[in-house]
Amino acid sequence: MTVTAKDAAGNVASFRRDPAEVMRLARMGSAHPTRLSFLRVLLRRMRDEGWRFDRPVWEMDAKGVGRAVYRAIGPERTYSLVAFAHDLPADMRSDRVIATAWDATFALFDGTPTTADLDRLQANVPLQEAGRIAESELSLSRANRSVRLFDHIVSRLAEGEQPDAAEIDAVGYLMRTTAVYGSGKFGAADRSVLAWRPEMKGPFQAEMLSVWLTRAFTVDLVEHLAAQKGGTKAVRLAPDLRRCLGVGNSTGLGMAPFLIRHPMLLNNWVASREEALARVRAQESAGAAEVAGLRAALDAARANHAHWRSEHPIQIEKLADLGGDIDRIGEYLETWPGAGARPWDALWRWGAETLTLEGQEALLAMMLEPHGALIDGLADCMDAEEGAIHRIDGSMSASATRAALAGHYGWAIDTDYADRSQIARFWYVSEEKLEPRLGERFEEDGAERELPLCIGWLAADMARALDGWKGEDSLAAFLLAHPEHRFMARRLQMAMRHPYAEIRDNLIASDMLPIDLLRCKLAYFGATHFDPRSDRWVRIALCQGMPYPDEMTKEGERA
């Protein structure tokens, strides 16, 4: 590295936000998708590499029951979404991950499936968790119709008319996925099999491809049913209306512990985004194209806000915050960039002082938007080899361990865990459905089977247990005497090397909101229209406004 490059790198580092600021639940629960979100990364790659798409199989009867194959053909490999459409009675349609029947079920197949492959998948994919798939599959998922909009569009198209834009706007998708299982689940190929492929190295790329192709399937299915119903009178969906449709997703507590269980991965997601923001802030000036790009991003944010609805009181308030902040940003940009040094940093500092958390995180996404050349490469840094950090270095001294705990978990160690409100909840897995849930410690049974997701409490316990050990004693000796702190010891050593790994809030406090965890993870996926239905489950949309497979071109698409 040359001296100049080193100086520049050091310079960028000084613009990075502190983990103590970034890794708070309230801020994570205000996260917005950015151009580093996984869906955007996937579409950019497919556009830049000139991927082709086709639908070699469409075997669908008059009731819309049958199977279809959608292929994504890359420069080196082909991936196929295998879709099975079912005839589901209304009384079996459940949003829950624990449902047992769906309107449609899917697997992402590695390559082009033969008829024998399709027959094998047809015997297993519709069963979802109760079936087994193989290493030739990369994901397993299912979706239910948004019945009202689905029926509306079918009947309108069958009559030769376009559906109401307002109806489409109110729902935003034809089907909602209730689970998309990826790496290694139910027999599917896992990361150790796939991560050497550039197009599968990034987080959740197989799952995002599956969802994006599922969206094309949902539109094909309504057009098929309309044609069956209306015959020659039927028309296809107008391209501009079609663009507005995405894929919905319902997500509950099952996803919430993910960010806690995968600290190294979380670090890499956040560190990449924070590095991107720092690079933008560190620029000496603002070019005309980037200034115009920022204004376009503001317009897009305003349009997105106008279509973003929720009936949940928390989200209604956050949307009001966001609306006010978008106006404030618009006013500020009237005189920005001005003549001062480092205008992007000035903009950021103004936002951090002026805007709510919603507005600040939205501003972050806007500021990244016109800087693809500067930051898109960071998408390559967002995966994690989690198995590579298993070993604990037991030679660490007790004094160094104490200092590290104080340095990385100071936010947790001084909490008063004798206060019942600080330990009001516990995370556990339900025996009935094997899904994670959050219990009330002083009202429900089962706290003795608590999952180790109460990280702050564990850190505080370990710090207390270290009292009385001599400074030169080894961590190995401490852990032989106290195996109950082994989990936290491994976590501590991981956190020492990964500053954004740990959520710096009490995850079992009475006022903790699980939807904050969901919002953060879903923003990294690229989800929009975050719509909480309670403090612990949400609906979101993916792919709205994005091109369809038949619209993918190298030019002009927002990816």
Please, which of residues 427-466 interact with another protein by CB under 8 A?
428-440, 443-446, 449, 451-452
Q: Does 100 bind another protein (CB under 8 A)?
A: no
Helix (H) or strand (E) holding 438: strand 436-440
* Contact window for another protein (CB under 8 A) among 43-51, 106-114, 349-357, 387-395: 387-395
For 174-185, what is the HEC assignment?
EEEEEEEECCCH
* Contact window for another protein (CB under 8 A) among 1-9, 29-37, 218-226, 261-269: 261-269
Is residue 309 a contact partner of residue 531, using CB atoms and an 8 Å limit? Answer: yes
Q: How far is CA 143 from the centre of its chain?
A: 18
- Beta carbon nearer to another protein, 207 or 361: 207
Q: Which residues pair with 177 in a beta bridge?
A: 143, 249
Strand 436-440 versus strand 246-251 pairing type: unpaired
Is residue 404 a contact partner of residue 492, using CB atoms and an 8 Å limit? Answer: yes
Q: Does 322 bind another protein (CB under 8 A)?
A: no
Half-sphere exposure of 509 (CA within 13 A, CB side): 14
Beta strands in 134-270 (DSSP E): 137-145, 173-181, 246-251
| 160, 487, 497, 551: residue in contact with another protein (rule CB under 8 A) | 487
| 308, 525, 530, 548: residue in contact with another protein (rule CB under 8 A) | 525
Number of Cβ within a 10 Å radius of residue 377: 11
| 187, 198, 323, 324: residue in contact with another protein (rule CB under 8 A) | 187
| 265, 326, 364, 517: residue in contact with another protein (rule CB under 8 A) | 265
| 148, 233, 349, 497: residue in contact with another protein (rule CB under 8 A) | 148
Count of residues near another protein by CB under 8 A: 97
* Contact window for another protein (CB under 8 A) among 57-65, 182-190, 322-330, 350-358: 182-190
Tokens of 441: 């410690």
* Contact window for another protein (CB under 8 A) among 111-119, 245-253, 283-291, 303-311: 245-253
Is residue 23 a contact partner of residue 500, using CB atoms and an 8 Å limit? Answer: yes
- Beta carbon nearer to another protein, 192 or 553: 192
| 28, 46, 278, 522: residue in contact with another protein (rule CB under 8 A) | 522
Q: Does 524 bind another protein (CB under 8 A)?
A: no
Q: Does 90 bind another protein (CB under 8 A)?
A: yes
Q: Does 37 bind another protein (CB under 8 A)?
A: no
Half-sphere exposure of 54 (CA within 13 A, CB side): 7
Q: Does 164 bind another protein (CB under 8 A)?
A: no
Residues 6+ apart with CB under 8 A from 210: 81, 106, 108, 138, 139, 141, 180
What is each CA distance from 77 to 74, 198, 549, in whole angstroms? 5, 11, 17
Q: Does 261 bind another protein (CB under 8 A)?
A: yes
Site for another protein in 194-233 (CB under 8 A): 203-204, 207
* Contact window for another protein (CB under 8 A) among 18-26, 134-142, 215-223, 301-309: 134-142
* Contact window for another protein (CB under 8 A) among 15-23, 115-123, 256-264, 296-304: 256-264
Residue 450 Cβ vs another protein, minimum distance, rounded to whole Å = 9
Measured CA to CA, the distance from residue 460 to residue 462 in angstroms comes to 5
